[in-house]
């Protein structure tokens, strides 16, 4: 399966198992979503369980919160992460707090699907990576799959969770893994082991990172599209690095991070989002607090730059093989 097909399969499996699950958003019904992720769901489950909304992200999130408090399990789609900001107040002030402010009398089992990230020439308004905004909010969980199998298993776990979840889908990987070599033909998921996805129900628990590649020379912490880019750089440079796909940013698998950095003594953090106050800053602080006496070199970060996402200079902004390779060189020299 592609990642698009895997997410569609997760929604289909869960809607068949639980009639409380509803899908809503702009064009998710008859059209099947801007990326075709919800294709066929309205025809199979009807217009009351998969339906289009007005172009109002605030309205989509607000309606989903109300449904969740009422007892449903809504899965709203925001077409691009860049458009989620009108719904932020609803997420911060309502969704994240319902369970706490009601002392557990009400919960908000809402999973917001959000395509994010660059690499598709989307420019400033279709390429952003706002994950750190959500990890800063207590009361919600933030999930980022990097493969079709993880996308299905993690989405099922998110839908079953009683807390609100922001499910961030790396759209550059929807139809194939991306190794950062933009001047080469696009790859498909066909020969990737994690594209072999079970058609039936399965779940991958939130809060568990995955060691994509074992190694002892350095640790790379990343998520989403950058998992594939980092793996390619390690392979090209012949570095025996340990590559960790965080998979969920909150809850975070701190034990896996700590164990790896203590073993390798070197840590590189990679993400697409802007550098200042990005999630890499949190990871860097955690590694410094827990692994300081095991570090053999300063922690390195490769990120987007502190500018709006540029259209014409996308590949300079994108944390690609050149910048990651240079960071690895510095990391291994010290």
Residue 60: predicted pLDDT:
98
Residue 88 main-chain phi, psi, to 5 deg? -60, -40
Low-confidence residues in the chain, pLDDT < 70: 334
Q: Catalytic site residues?
A: 126
Torsion sign (Cα): 302, 168, 66, 252 = negative
Residue 308: predicted pLDDT:
94
Please give the structure tokens belonging to residue 279.
């999630």
Residue 334: predicted pLDDT:
64
List, edge to edge, every strand of the sheet that includes 50-52. 50-52, 21-25, 73-77, 111-116, 165-170, 141-143, 248-250
Q: How many CB atoms lie within 10 A of CB 190?
A: 8
- Is residue 191 a contact partner of residue 146, using CB atoms and an 8 Å limit? no
In sequence order, what are the residues at sequence separation of 6 or more whose Cβ sits closer than 8 angstroms to the Cβ of residue 65?
A: 90, 94, 95, 98, 108, 110, 164
């Amino acid at each position: 399966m592609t990642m698009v097909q895997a997410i569609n399969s997760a929604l289909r499996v869960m809607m068949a198992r639980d009639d409380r699950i509803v899908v809503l958003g702009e064009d998710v019904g008859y059209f099947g979503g801007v990326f075709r992720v919800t294709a066929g769901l309205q025809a199979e489950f009807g217009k009351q369980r998969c339906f289009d909304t007005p172009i109002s992200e605030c309205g989509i999130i607000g309606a989903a919160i109300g449904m969740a408090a009422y007892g449903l399990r809504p899965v709203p789609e925001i077409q691009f992460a860049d458009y989620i900001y009108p719904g932020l107040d609803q997420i911060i002030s309502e969704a994240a707090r319902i369970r706490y402010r009601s002392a557990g009398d009400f919960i908000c089992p809402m999973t917001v699907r959000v395509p994010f990230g660059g690499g598709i020439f989307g420019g400033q308004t279709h390429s952003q990576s706002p994950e750190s905004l959500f990890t800063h909010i207590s009361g919600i969980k933030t999930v980022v799959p990097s493969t079709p199998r993880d996308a299905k298993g993690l989405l099922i776990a998110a839908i079953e969770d009683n807390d609100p979840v922001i499910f961030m889908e790396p759209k550059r990987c929807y139809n194939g893994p991306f190794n950062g070599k933009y001047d080469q033909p696009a790859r498909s998921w066909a020969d990737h082991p994690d594209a072999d996805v079970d058609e039936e129900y399965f779940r991958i628990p939130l809060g568990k990172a995955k060691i994509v590649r074992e190694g002892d020379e350095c640790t790379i912490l990343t998520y989403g599209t950058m998992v594939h880019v980092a793996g390619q750089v390690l392979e090209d440079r012949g570095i025996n690095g340990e590559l960790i796909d965080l998979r969920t940013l909150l809850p975070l698998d701190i034990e896996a991070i700590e164990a790896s950095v203590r073993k390798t003594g070197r840590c590189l953090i990679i993400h697409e989002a802007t550098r200042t106050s990005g999630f890499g800053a949190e990871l860097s602080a955690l590694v410094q607090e827990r692994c300081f006496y095991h570090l053999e070199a300063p922690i390195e970060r490769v990120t987007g730059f502190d500018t709006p996402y540029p259209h014409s200079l996308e590949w300079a902004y994108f944390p690609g093989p050149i910048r990651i390779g240079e960071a690895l060189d510095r990391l291994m020299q010290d």
